[in-house]
Structure 1
Amino acid sequence: MSPIKKMTLAAGVAAAALTGAGMAQAEGETYILVSHAPDSDSWWNTIKNAIALAGEQMDVEVEYRNPPTGDLADMARIIEQAAASGPDGIITTLSDYDVLSGPIRSAVDSGVDVIIMNSGTPEQAREVGALMYVGQPEYDAGLAAGQRAAADGVESFLCVNHYISSPSSTERCQGFADGLGVELGDQMIDSGQDPAEIKNRVLAYLSSNPDTDAVLTLGPTSADPTILALEENGMAGDIYFGTFDLGAQIVEGIKAGTINWGIDQQPFLQAYLPVVVMTNYHRYGVLPGNNINSGPGFVTADALEMVEKFAGEYR
């Protein structure tokens, strides 16, 4: 039996145990997931797959909304519009507390239940009145990555930040620097999101800083062009390379020895679990007592079989 079929069966058994008659008590709840991701970021396809499966299993309506260009002011408006439409709940990222906390608090005050996923912190989730937080604390993940790299002898690095307007992205780079015990300084670059521009900026930085020990990317958007840059300048496989998140090219890079490890924050769980938790909360009044950390987990070449099979889909 495949892992996805097993997950479906397990969810059905759990639901049956709660209701005594499967999904007979389903009430057609409606949930809206709002992310900060631009349309161009394929990493979020896993999130979309997760809410689709959770919606099917729990017999609820789940909709995905996002700002097409990743503009956070636009995201704030989307949260306001989502709350005004009267859903049973909103699941949202909290990538910039200053911009998004107001609309989220207003949604909570209007009677809409909220779960924070992916970005932000458990503390910030409590401050805005959310039910809970499901995700990977970004600074902590960066710190763990930096400590791992330090143990491998890394002393300097380039952090390729493709979403520098989001404070949570910078937290990854800062955590990595702190894990190494060095100043972040100009070791973080604003790469933008255009693949050709990312590649050129990585090449330029490494040309100007040839003694750089390592490269850290923050997801497929920056990792994929960085792989091409290292292949072009002959550093692929020679420079230490770690990345956040997974994707098809990242998995191939790990297999080839170009990438040392990828941090798996398990985005499937970040979207799937809030739908399940919120549905059970609304139907039966049950809610986990703690926040859920979905990561970090380090994926290396010796643990790729299932990751490779589901990369970009459920991993």
Structure 2
Amino acid sequence: MSMKKYVALAGVAMLTLAGCAAPAADTAAPATSDIKICVYTHGDGGTFWSVAQKGAEQAAADLGVELDYQGANNDAAKQASTIEAGVAAGCDGIASSVPDAEALQGPMDAAKAAGIPTVTMNSGSSVFTKLGAFTHVGQDEVIAGQQAGLKFNAMGVKHVLCPIQEAGNVGLADRCAGLKQTFKGKAEEFNLDGGLADLTAATAKLQAALEADKTIDAIFALNADIAAKAAMPAAEAAGVSVKIGTVDMSPEALDAIEAGTMEFAIDQQQYAQGYMSVVLLYLNLTNGHELGGGQPVYTGPGFVTKDNVAKVKELVAAGSR
């Protein structure tokens, strides 16, 4: 990290919000303009990741640091090479989502060897310590699935389909695993690999599953586009009534919740994931903080239902949810 200039941290609002006393005015810290924080995700820039990126960009603007944000369009090899390039290009701190821990182990080890502090975000809550990160920012995916199972229990459904649209994504598998732990009926994983890339094909696969097994009375979608643009059309085409819940939000999913045709969306609050990842790295670089106490910093799960969807839609329109 460059040490060309020094600034006081007394005015940093995040320290106050965290309940920490701000350093005295003469405390030396690296100039924020010399800090480069890198956020490298597996995201595709869609409705979810564009909001996470906005959070990271806002944090960088608020703190006056340089930000390098790059997504990898769900390509683990590309994400790994992006991290490697970031280490070589002078990232002072790195935040990374972890859909595939094995693919990212080498690059994250390289960051640690270079003395670069890291946090994981979004996915990776169960492996962040193995990857050398001092904390994880996101929701625990197993807990999210557990809470969904309780929601479906309350609806009285008996057979929930849990379609996984990215094979090998540990976060998605954890959601289905959590569902199985609390749901009292039958919870069944369903292979929908590549579904986001071809929603028409995903709809056809789900329609076939619903027509083949009339006991399926609920779908736990792990992505809002899968929920609104595949699961809902599939149920309509199959001529069946199923309860649908999803992870994450989209305009279409929120409209469906407001209309009563979708039951809930789990909100992991991705804006906060992007924002807090930058803040946590900033505090580590400027003041030696390793927040989280060796545990994840949770941003969810929260639930969007018909009761609060109107307010959430306002925030979505503002670009922060």
User: TM-score under structure 1 normalisation?
Assistant: 0.87
Structure 1 residue identity aligned to 2:159: S
Corresponding residue for 1:266?
A: 269
Aligned to 1:109: 113
**What's 1:216 paired with?**
220
Q: Tell me which protein shows more helix as a share of its residues.
A: 1
Q: Percent identity?
A: 29
Deviation at 1:148? 2.3
Structure 1 partner of 2:153:
150
Moved more, 304-313 or 79-88: 304-313
Q: Which amino acid aligns with 2:167?
A: I
**Aligned partners of 1:43, 1:222: CA distance in 2, in Å?**
12
Shift of 1:146: 1.1
Which residue of 2 is the match for residue 278 of structure 1?
Answer: 281
Structure 1: gaps spanning 5 or more residues: 1-8
Distance of 2:161 and 2:205 partners within structure 1: 11
**In the alignment, structure 1 residue 44 sits paired with structure 2 residue 49:** yes
Distance 1:142 1:51, change over 3 A: same
Say whether the 8 Å CA contact 1:191–1:201 is kept in structure 2. Answer: no
183 and 97 in structure 1: CA distance in 2 versus 1, 3 angstrom threshold: farther
Structure 1 position 310 matched with structure 2 position 305? no
Structure 2 spans left out of the alignment, 5+ residues: 1-11
Query: CA offset at residue 35 of structure 1?
Result: 0.7
Equivalent residue number for residue 38 of structure 2: 32
RMSD: 2.6
* Residue number in structure 1 paired with 2:4: none
The 8 Å contact of residues 139 and 300 in structure 2, kept in 1 or not, is answered as: yes
Q: Comparing 172-181 with 135-144, which one deviates more in the overlay?
A: 172-181
Give the SS at the match of 2:43: coil
Tell me: CA distance 1:256–1:20, structure 2 relative to 1, closer, same or farther (3 Å). Answer: farther
The answer to whether the Cα contact below 8 Å between 2:160 and 2:188 also exists between their aligned partners in 1 is no
Q: Which residue of 1 is the match for residue 95 of structure 2? A: 91
Going from structure 1 to structure 2, the CA distance change for 1:116 and 1:12 (only over 3 Å counts) comes to closer
2:299 aligns to what? Answer: 294
Query: Measured at CA, do residues 13 and 151 of structure 1 come closer, stay the same or move farther in structure 2, by a change above 3 Å?
Result: closer
Task: Report the Cα distance in structure 2 between the residues aligned to 1:12 and 1:102, rounded to whole angstroms.
Answer: 33
Which amino acid counterpart does residue 309 of structure 1 have in structure 2? Answer: E
